Amino acid sequence: MRTSSYFDSADIIEHSKNKYACHTLVKLLPFVGKEERRVVLNHAFKNIGKLLRHKYSARLIESLYATYANKQDRVNMLRECFAPDFQLLGDVTCSNLDELLTKYPDKRERVLDRVKAILDKAIK
């Protein structure tokens, strides 16, 4: 099948940074199978912070988060967005920013700086 070869490609992350390719990708997602959406989601993981800072790819991440991600995917996306070093710790007990800041007060500044940078970029 022609679409699965496109979705299997790692270039999908680079394509999400292009205005027209991202629009096409977001519009295609409802019409492809769960496997292809899972592939796109897996390619997006480990790049959430970079993609959220980009004008067009942020739209893809929002669509994946709001429509296609399950609860565990959403927690992982938020955790990666707040501070990627928490992904390495493998701490699955924190599911939102408040819990994260309460459990790790020593990393508060770093996490808040990252969130501020993402929000500043999103506003511009």
End residue of a domain, out of 69, 88, 107: 69
CA angle, residues 118, 119, 123, in degrees to nearest 5: 120
Shared-domain flag, residues 53 and 101: no
**CA nearest 40: which of 72, 18, 73, 71?**
73
The verdict on 50 and 2 lying in the same domain is yes
- Number of domain units in the chain: 2
φ/ψ of residue 71, rounded to 5: -60, -45
Residues 109 and 75 in one domain: yes
1 pLDDT band (50/70/90 cuts)? very low
Chain segment 58-107, per-residue pLDDT in tens: 899 999 999 999 988 888 888 787 766 666 555 556 777 788 788 888 88
Domain holding 104, by residue range, is 71-124
Cα–Cα separations (whole angstroms), residue 37 to 24, 43, 79: 14, 10, 20
Domain identity same for 1 and 46: yes
Query: pTM score > 0.85 for this model?
Result: no
**Same-domain check for residues 13 and 48:** yes
**Residue pointed to by tokens 């409802």:** 30
